[in-house]
């Protein structure tokens, strides 16, 4: 039952004193099969009409024991499982894992490989953010931006297919480099053309169609406000944390790979349309991050060095000296942490993943209370969760 402090709006559930009428809260199962829960998320709601009194996320519908599987396969064979964490930005997940592996192996990586990694990871980030915008718009009832964003994402998938051979799941990075070099068929030129098109035209389209639409602002501004304290308490990272006005990004504040070489800004929520940390801020951070990612890609491609793309001849199995390593990297959803313990064999002793969506989702319990069911849909959309990453 809702406590007194949770009752923001007073509805019929308070009026038990009406003679002959007994009212109670309505238990509502939102999901696991529901169009707005972005996968198999199940939200257990207690509602009083349109007002939500309690929201409990129920997880585990997509659990695949990926961490346990890691203990049974070789280090290199596990890259393919990281693809399936955040399946909307697999390159970022690959990058997170190989960074941790290289720290553990004390492996140097050729500079060309790092550049390629950054380019594909940022392309993946753009693709993921495009999906975030698209589905957030869809949650708000705007169908058309969905199709537009998917059209642009398709271009990215084509580009990544040309470099890695896979459309959705790439298995592209390996500890010590990348699997294939950049193809010789004008790939670099096509990437540059694409990001120029995105920067100059498409982002304006999205802004006109969705971001600055009056109805969209009404729906998202001042809704689902995450204060800075809440964001810290619940361990929010990525656009959710930055939407609350905190300028923190692993790429700049705890640089890995070669991100320190490039010049880019960290967009933060400004409360332009309402309060700092509302749904609109989180949404807008993503739109602006697309432009920043384009900047990084352009710099990485302009300064692309010649040379090797793998540090050593790829072997079937990797053997790692005993030890442990933890790294954190910035994926499109937030901070991915990999903690790998090696006992000197061919398989890790333990491989623990800290996934950003898991932490970001928890804050829903706090911000969802006292809001309307429609707002809850907006909040879930603005947190941009991926169930593959939450349940692993």
Partner 1 sequence: MEILADLIRKLPGGPDMSEQAMHITNSVIMATLMFIVMALCAIIFTWMERKVAGFIQSRYGPMRTGRWHGWAQAVADMLKILGKEDIIPAEADKTYFVFAPLLVLLGSLLAWAAFPWAPGFVAADLDLGLFYIFAVSSLVVIGLLMAGWASNNKWALYGAARGAAQMVSYEIPLALACIPVVMYTGSLNTQDIVIAQQGGVLNWFIFRDPFLFVAFFMYFIASIAETNRGPFDMPETESELVSGYHTEYTGMRFAFFFLAEYANLFLVSMIAVMVFLGGWWSPIPGLDFAPALTFIIKGVLMVFLNMWIRWTLPRVRVDQLMHLCWKVMIPVTLLCVIGAGVWMMLSGRAGA
CA distances from 295 to 130, 136, 291, 368 (A): 16, 24, 6, 35
- Taking CB under 8 A as the criterion, the residue among 102, 139, 335, 389 binding partner 1 is 139
Does 375 help bind partner 1 (rule: CB under 8 A)?
yes
Give the closest residue to 118 by CA, choosing from 218, 260, 268, 321.
Answer: 260
Ramachandran area for residue 257 (φ above 0: left; ψ -120 to 50: alpha; else beta): left
Nearer to partner 1, 148 or 259 (CB): 148
154 lies in the site for partner 1, by CB under 8 A? no
For position 350 contacting partner 1 by CB under 8 A, the verdict is no
Q: Is 384 in the site for partner 1 (CB under 8 A)?
A: no
Closest contact distance (angstroms) between CB of 214 and partner 1 is: 9
Label each residue of 135-170 as H, E or C: HHHHHCCCCHHHHHHHHHHHHHHHHHHHHHCCCCCC
Size of site (CB under 8 A) for partner 1: 30
In the window 56-75, what residues touch partner 1 (CB under 8 A)?
none
Is 362 a residue that touches partner 1 (CB under 8 A)? Answer: no
Least distance CB 48 / partner 1 (angstroms): 12
Residue 126 found at the interface with partner 1 (CB under 8 A)? no
Exposed/middle/buried for 326, CB within 10 Å: 0-12, 13-18, 19+? middle
| Binding piece for partner 1, criterion CB under 8 A, among 30-38, 55-63, 273-281, 330-338 | 30-38
Regarding 8 and contact with partner 1 (CB under 8 A), the answer is no
Stretch that binds partner 1, among 142-150, 186-194, 252-260, 304-312 (CB under 8 A): 142-150
Distance between CA atoms of residues 154 and 210, nearest Å: 20
Interface with partner 1, residue 50, by CB under 8 A: yes
Which region among 117-125, 171-179, 212-220, 251-259 touches partner 1 (by CB under 8 A)? 212-220
Bridge partner list, 30? 43
What are the DSSP E strand ranges found in 49-136? 51-58
User: Shortest distance, CB of residue 13 to partner 1, whole angstroms?
Assistant: 15
State the residue for tokens 């309060």: 275
**207 CB contacts (<8 Å, ≥6 apart)?**
287
Residue closer to partner 1 by CB (options 77, 374) is 374
Is 364 near partner 1 (CB under 8 A)?
no
**What are 336's strand-pairing partners?**
329
Query: What does R_g of the chain's alpha carbons equal in angstroms?
Result: 22
Q: From the list 143, 184, 185, 316, which residue makes contact with partner 1 (rule: CB under 8 A)?
A: 143
DSSP string, 13-39: GG-TTSTT----PEEEEE-SS-TTSTT
173 pairs with which residues across the strands?
Answer: 178
Q: How far is the CB of 32 from partner 1 (least distance, A)?
A: 12
| Nearer to partner 1 among residue 310 and residue 371 (C-beta) | 371
Interface residue with partner 1 among 8, 168, 215, 314 (CB under 8 A) is 215
Task: Give the shortest CB-206-to-partner 1 separation in angstroms.
Answer: 13
CA angle 192, 259, 85 (to 5 degrees): 85
Decide: is 113 part of the binding site for partner 1 (CB under 8 A): no
Residues in touch with partner 1 (CB under 8 A): 26, 28, 34-36, 49-50, 137-144, 147-148, 151, 209-210, 213, 215-216, 218-219, 372-375, 377
């Amino acid at each position: 039952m809702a406590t007194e402090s949770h009752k923001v709006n007073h509805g019929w559930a308070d009026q038990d004193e009406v003679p002959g009428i007994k009212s109670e809260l309505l238990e509502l199962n939102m999901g696991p099969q529901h169009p707005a829960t972005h996968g198999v998320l199940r939200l257990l709601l207690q509602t009083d009409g349109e007002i939500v009194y309690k929201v409990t996320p129920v997880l585990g519908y997509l659990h695949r024991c990926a961490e346990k599987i890691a203990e049974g396969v070789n280090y290199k064979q596990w890259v393919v499982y990281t693809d399936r964490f955040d399946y909307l930005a697999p390159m970022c997940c690959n990058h997170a894992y190989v960074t941790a592996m290289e720290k553990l192996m004390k492996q140097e990586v050729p500079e060309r490989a790092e550049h390629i990694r950054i380019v594909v990871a940022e392309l993946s980030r753009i693709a993921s953010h495009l999906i975030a915008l698209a589905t957030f718009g869809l949650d708000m009832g705007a169908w058309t931006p969905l199709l537009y964003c998917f059209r642009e994402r398709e271009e990215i998938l084509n580009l990544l297919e040309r470099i890695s051979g896979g459309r959705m799941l790439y298995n592209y990075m390996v500890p010590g480099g990348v699997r294939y070099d950049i193809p010789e068929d004008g790939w670099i030129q096509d990437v540059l053309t694409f990001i120029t098109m995105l920067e100059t035209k498409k982002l304006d389209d999205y802004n006109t169609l969705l971001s600055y639409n009056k109805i969209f602002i009404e729906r998202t501004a001042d809704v689902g406000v995450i204060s800075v304290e809440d964001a810290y308490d619940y361990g929010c990272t990525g656009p959710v944390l930055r939407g609350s006005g905190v300028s923190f990004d692993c790429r700049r504040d705890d640089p890995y790979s070669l991100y320190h070489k490039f010049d880019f800004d960290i967009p933060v929520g400004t409360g332009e349309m309402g309060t700092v940390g509302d749904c609109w801020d989180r949404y807008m951070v993503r739109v602006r991050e697309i432009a920043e990612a384009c900047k990084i890609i352009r710099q990485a491609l302009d300064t692309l060095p010649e040379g090797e793309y793998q540090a050593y001849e790829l072997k079937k199995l990797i053997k790692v000296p005993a030890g442990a390593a933890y790294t954190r990297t910035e994926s499109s959803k937030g901070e991915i942490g990999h903690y790998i313990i090696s006992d000197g064999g061919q398989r890790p002793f333990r491989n623990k993943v800290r996934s950003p969506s898991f932490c970001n989702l928890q804050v829903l319990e706090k911000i969802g209370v006292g809001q309307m069911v429609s707002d809850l849909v907006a909040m879930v959309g603005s947190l941009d969760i991926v169930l593959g990453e939450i349940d692993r």
